A and B are shown apart, each in its own frame.
Chain A
Amino acid sequence: MTNPIAPDLPAAGRMPVKPRAGVWRRLVRRPLALLGLLIVAIVLAGAILAPWLTGYDPNEQMFDGLTLEGSPLPPDAKFWLGTDLLGRDLMTRILFGARTSLIIGIVANGVALLIGTLVGVTAGYFRGWIGSALMRFTDLMMAFPALLLAICLAAVFEPSLWIVAMVIALVNWVQTARVIYTETSSLSEREFIDAERTIGASAPRILIRHILPHLLPTIIVWGTLGISTTVLLEATLSYLGIGVQPPTASWGNIIFENQTYFQAAPWLVFFPGAAILALALAFNLIGDALRDILDPTQRGRE
C-alpha cells in the first residue's frame, strides 16, 4: 500500500445499479419465490375455473359417493380425492372452497393488515393523546376474546361471505397494530428521522418515505402468517354456525365437518389441510423474497 493512512474516499467500487431494476424480474429469478408464485397461480386458476375443471356439483350428495355402509370413499379413479361424509366429491369442494378461502385469506387478512398498520403507525409516530387512545383501544380489543367478539359481530350482521371477511378483519388487526406500534415508536427515535425533520420534511412524507419502508419486513411477515390464521378462523366460525353458511364450501369448514372422522377417513382432513398449508407457504416464500429484494442492505447477497 502506498498511502499509509487509507483515504476515506476510494472511488466507488461497484458500478451504480439501475434504479428499481424490476422488482418483478428479480422476484422470478429466485427459484423459491417462483415456486410460491406458481402455487398462488394454481390456486387462483383452480378457484376461477372450478366449474370447468370438475364434472360434479360441489353440493350434490351422490348416491355412488358412499359405500353401502354409508361411509365416505377413499381417493380412486372416479373421485380423485375421495368423497366426504355426505357423498360429495372432495376435489370439487376444495376447488370451490378455494374461492371462499382466497377471499378470506387475502381480503380479510389484507384489511386487517391495513387497519393494524394504520393504527400502529399513527399511534407510534404521533404518540400524545392520540397514541394513548389508540393503543388503549387496541389493548381492550386484545383483552377481549377474539372468538367471542367474532360471534357477537356475526350475530349482529346477516351472515354472508363478505360479512365474515369483515368480522375476521375486525378481530385480526390487533396483533399487527401492537407490533407495528412498537416498531414505529423505536424507528421514530432513530437519528435519521430527526435528520428528516431538520430538513423540513412533513409528517406524511416521513411516514410514507422513511418509516413505512422500514416496516415492510414486519408487515410482510404478519401478512403471510395472517393467511393461515384467518383461513382457520373462518373455519372455526363456520363450525360454530356463524361463518360461511353450509353447504357453501370453504377449506376450513371442510376440515371442521370431517375432523371427527380423521382416523377412518384421513383424506378428508389431509387434502384441505394441505391446500391451506400450500397457500400459506406460497405467500411466505413470496413475502420472504420480497423482503430481501426491497432491502437495499441485502443487495449482493442474493
Chain B
Amino acid sequence: MTSTPEPVLDIANLSVSVRGEDGEREVVSGLSLSLKRGETLCIAGESGSGKSMTALAIMQLLPQPAARISSGKIRLRDGNNLGAVELTALDERRMRDIRGDRIAMIFQEPMTSLNPVLSIGRQLTESIEAHTGLSHVEAQRRAVEALQAVRISEAENRLKQFPHELSGGMRQRVMIAMALALEPDVLIADEPTTALDVTVQGEVLELLRDLQRQHGTSVILITHDMGVVAEMADRVIVMRNGRMVEEGAAADIFARPQAAYTRELLAAVPRIGSGAGRHASGEPDKVATQDKVAVVNDLHVRFDLRGGFFGRVNRRVHAVEGVSFSIAPNETLALVGESGCGKSTTAKALAGLVPYSGGVTIGGRELATLGGDARKAVRRDVQMVFQDPYASLDPRMRVGDLVAEPLLIHGIGSRQERRERVAALFERVGLSAAQMELYPHEFSGGQRQRICIARALALRPKLIIADESVSALDVSVQARVLDLLKELQREFGVAYLFISHDMAVVENISDRVAVMYLGQIVEIGSRDQVFSNPRHPYTRRLIEAVPVPDPSRRRTRFARLDREIPSATRRIGESMPKLVLKDFGGGHFAAVGD
C-alpha cells in the first residue's frame, strides 16, 4: 500500500530515561520517526529495546516518577493540516482529551487491561461518553456498532457480559473496539497478539488490517515477532537498546536487511520448512516397547468443579481424555496445541504433579504397580523444564545450590562431588562455575533457562519434559537454547517431550509431532508426515496460522472460526466423544470424520 505523504505523528530526537538504583539510564535514545496517515509502522525489537517505552512516551503514560522524557518532541498533526499539538508540553488534563480520542492504545494482556468488575458495555460507553458528550442511549448505540465492527456476534447481549466471561481473543477484540470506537487518528498496539493463540492471532491481525483500511487509521504496531511484522507492516523500525538500528519499507527490511543486527534477528526467527538437518525420524514401532523411555496409555486427567449451594462436585473439566503415545530414547516428541488443549496437563501428569488415571510406563516399569520408594526412583528419570525461567527457580537460593538440590535429595555423592558435578553442568550448559554463588535474579532470562536445563540434567534423566521452555525467550536467545537442547540430546541420548504452541519451533526441533485438541490427540506422526501431509483440519489450520516472516508471502485472507472454541467442561455423567485415529501408514495417525 502506498501511503499519502502527510504525517500524522512526528517524533523528533526522543529520549526517555529511567531512574534506577545506579542513577539515570536512557532506555530510548534519540529516536526520530514520522507516521503517515493510514500507514502501519511496526517497531520491532527484543525485550529491553525500548519499544514499549516509546509507545508509553507518545501516550504520556510513562511510569511515574521513575521514567521521564529527557529530550525530544512528539508532534501530533491535526486532521485538516491546520496545526500540530506538541504532546510533551501538554498538561495532564489536555492530554486526557487526546488519549482515546486522537490516539488510542491496545495493550498486550487483554485480561488485565479490562476492568474485571465492570461490564464491557459500561467500559465501552464510559469512554465514548467522556470524549463525545453523547447521551447514554446514543453512546450505547455507538458501543454496539463498535462491537459489531470487530465481528463480535450478539453485540447487544455482550454489553452485559464481564471480561472473565469472554475468551482471550474476544477480550482483545473488545479492546480493539474500545480503541476504535472514537475513530482515533493513531492507534498504538503494543504486542496485541502475543498473549493469544496462534489461530486467534491470525484473526485479530486480519481484523486490525481491515479496520485500518476502512477508517484510514495510522497504526504503530509494537512486536517482537518478525512473522507479525511481515504480515502487517508497511514500514519497519528495528530497535535495539533504545536506539533505532534500521528503518525501511517492510519488503526491503526482509529482503535486503542493512544492519547486522537486523540480519541476525531475521536469521534467528524459526521458520516452518527450515527444520531440515535433523536425523531421519524412524518409525515409532522400530524400538521395542520395553526399550521405550516412556509409554503413555489412555491417560485421563479430570478436574472437578464445585458449584451450587453445598459446593458439591457438579461439573468436570476433561483436561486430558485418553491420550496415548510413546517416546524412544534419543527422540523428541512434540506435543502441540493451543491454550487449554491439555498439553501442559499431560506433562504435569507425566511428571507426577497432577493425579491421573491410565497407564504411564517409564523405563519399562509401570508406575501404578510400584511402591513409594521405587516410584521415586523411577521418577528420577523424568525431569521437567518449565516455561517461565523467572518463576521456576526459587529466588532465595543460590543457583549452585538449586542445581545441586536434586543430587542432594536423591543422596548422590559427597558434598565435594556434588559441587564438582554442578560445576561441570554449569560449564556444559554454557555458564561459568564462578556463577554458582549468584542468585537467580542476577541472570538474564536465557541464562536462567540454562540453569533450569542444568538442574534437569543433574540426575541424568532419560526423559526431559520441556513445557513451553523457549516461549518466553527472545528469538535470538531462543535459537541458542534450542541448539543447546539438541547438543545435549546428541551427547546424553536424552529424550524430550517438547510442549509448545509454536509450530515453527516444533518443526525445528522435533522428530515426531502429536497435535492435541480438547484433551485428545487428533494427529500424530513423524515431523515430515505432519507438516508436509497434515490429515486433520485442525493441524492444517495450526500450520496455516503461523505468520511467515516474509512480506512477499503475506496471506490475503485467513479462514475465520465462526464460533468460540468449545469447552472441555462437562456435567457429571456426560462424557466427551472419543476420537478414533485412522492409520495412514508409517506411524502416521489422524482422527477422521470430525
Binding site for B on A (CB under 8 A): 4-5, 8-9, 11-17, 19, 190-192, 194-202, 205, 209-210, 213-214, 295-297, 299-301
Within 8 A of A (CB), among B358-403: 376, 379-380, 382-384, 386-388, 391-398
Q: Does B82 make an interface contact (CB < 8 A)?
A: no
Within 8 A of A (CB), among B339-359: 348, 351-353
Q: How many whole Å from B242's CB to the nearest CB in chain A?
A: 13
Q: Which of A14, A194, A201 has the most CB of B within 10 A?
A: A194
Residues B434 and A16 in contact, CB atoms below 8 Å apart: yes
Contacts A4-B264, A9-B450 aside, 16 further interface pairs with beta carbons under 8 A come to A4-B263, A8-B444, A15-B434, A17-B437, A190-B391, A191-B387, A192-B391, A194-B348, A195-B393, A198-B351, A198-B383, A199-B405, A200-B376, A200-B406, A200-B410, A296-B439
Q: Contacting B409 at CB < 8 Å: which of A8, A19, A194, A205?
A: A205
Q: Does B477 make an interface contact (CB < 8 A)?
A: yes
Residues B393 and A297 in contact, CB atoms below 8 Å apart: no
Residues B392 and A195 in contact, CB atoms below 8 Å apart: yes
Q: Does B41 make an interface contact (CB < 8 A)?
A: no
Q: Which residues of A contact B265 (CB under 8 A)?
A: 5
Q: Does B326 make an interface contact (CB < 8 A)?
A: no
Q: Could you tell me the dominant secondary structure of chain A's interface residues?
A: loop
Per the CB 8 Å criterion, the residue count for chain B at the interface is: 57
Can you list 7 pairs linking A and B with CB atoms under 8 Å apart? A12-B434, A13-B442, A192-B391, A195-B452, A198-B379, A199-B455, A200-B380
Q: How far is the CA of A200 from the CA of B353 in the complex (A)?
A: 11
Q: Does B130 make an interface contact (CB < 8 A)?
A: no
Q: Which residues of A contact B434 (CB under 8 A)?
A: 12, 15-16
Q: Does B446 make an interface contact (CB < 8 A)?
A: yes
Q: Which residues of B contact A9 (CB under 8 A)?
A: 430-431, 446-447, 450
Q: How far is the CA of A268 from the CA of B486 in the complex (A)?
A: 77
Q: How many whole Å from B300's CB to the nearest CB in chain A?
A: 21
Residues A191 and B439 in contact, CB atoms below 8 Å apart: no
Residues A200 and B441 in contact, CB atoms below 8 Å apart: no
A192-B394, A198-B384 known; A12 vs B438 contact (CB < 8 Å): yes
Q: How many whole Å from B59's CB to the nearest CB in chain A?
A: 28
Q: How far is the CA of A15 from the CA of B392 in the complex (A)?
A: 24
Residues B394 and A12 in contact, CB atoms below 8 Å apart: no
Q: How many whole Å from A194's CB to the nearest CB in chain B?
A: 6
A199-B409, A199-B455 known; A8 vs B383 contact (CB < 8 Å): no
Residues B383 and A213 in contact, CB atoms below 8 Å apart: no
Residues B396 and A191 in contact, CB atoms below 8 Å apart: no
Query: With contacts defined as CB atoms under 8 Å apart, how many contacts are there between chain A and chain B in the complex?
Result: 110
Who on chain A is nearest to B448 by CB?
Answer: A8
Q: How many whole Å from B485's CB to the nearest CB in chain A?
A: 14
Q: Contacting A16 at CB < 8 Å: which of B382, B405, B438?
A: B438
Q: Which of A17, A195, A200, A209 has the most CB of B within 10 A?
A: A195
Could you mark each residue 422-466 of chain B with 1 if its beta carbon is under 8 Å from any beta carbon of chain A, else 0? Answer: 000000001110111111011011110010100100110000000
Q: Which residues of A contact B441 (CB under 8 A)?
A: 296-297
Residues B384 and A195 in contact, CB atoms below 8 Å apart: yes
A195-B386, A198-B384, A214-B396 known; A12 vs B435 contact (CB < 8 Å): yes
Within 8 A of A (CB), among B217-240: 240
Q: How far is the CA of A11 from the CA of B388 in the complex (A)?
A: 23
A9-B431, A295-B396, A301-B21 known; A198 vs B352 contact (CB < 8 Å): yes
Residues B380 and A196 in contact, CB atoms below 8 Å apart: no
Residues A197 and B393 in contact, CB atoms below 8 Å apart: no
Q: Does B261 make an interface contact (CB < 8 A)?
A: yes
Residues A4 and B384 in contact, CB atoms below 8 Å apart: no
Q: How far is the CA of A12 from the CA of B447 in the complex (A)?
A: 11
Q: Contacting B353 at CB < 8 Å: which of A13, A17, A194, A300?
A: A194
Q: How many whole Å from A20's CB to the nearest CB in chain B?
A: 10
Q: Which of A5, A191, A198, A205 has the most CB of B within 10 A?
A: A198
Residues A14 and B392 in contact, CB atoms below 8 Å apart: no
Q: Does B480 make an interface contact (CB < 8 A)?
A: yes
Q: Does B287 make an interface contact (CB < 8 A)?
A: no
Q: How far is the CA of A214 from the CA of B397 in the complex (A)?
A: 11
Q: How far is the CA of A4 from the CA of B476 in the complex (A)?
A: 11
Q: Does B280 make an interface contact (CB < 8 A)?
A: no
Q: Does B259 make an interface contact (CB < 8 A)?
A: yes
Q: Does B260 make an interface contact (CB < 8 A)?
A: yes
Q: How many whole Å from B115's CB to the nearest CB in chain A?
A: 22
Residues A200 and B409 in contact, CB atoms below 8 Å apart: yes
Q: How far is the CA of A93 from the CA of B386 in the complex (A)?
A: 61
Who on chain B is nearest to A16 by CB?
Answer: B437
Q: How far is the CA of A17 from the CA of B376 in the complex (A)?
A: 35
Who on chain B is nearest to A197 by CB?
Answer: B353
Residues B442 and A14 in contact, CB atoms below 8 Å apart: yes
Shortest Cβ-Cβ A-B pairs, 8 listed: A16-B437, A8-B446, A4-B261, A199-B406, A191-B391, A296-B439, A4-B260, A191-B392
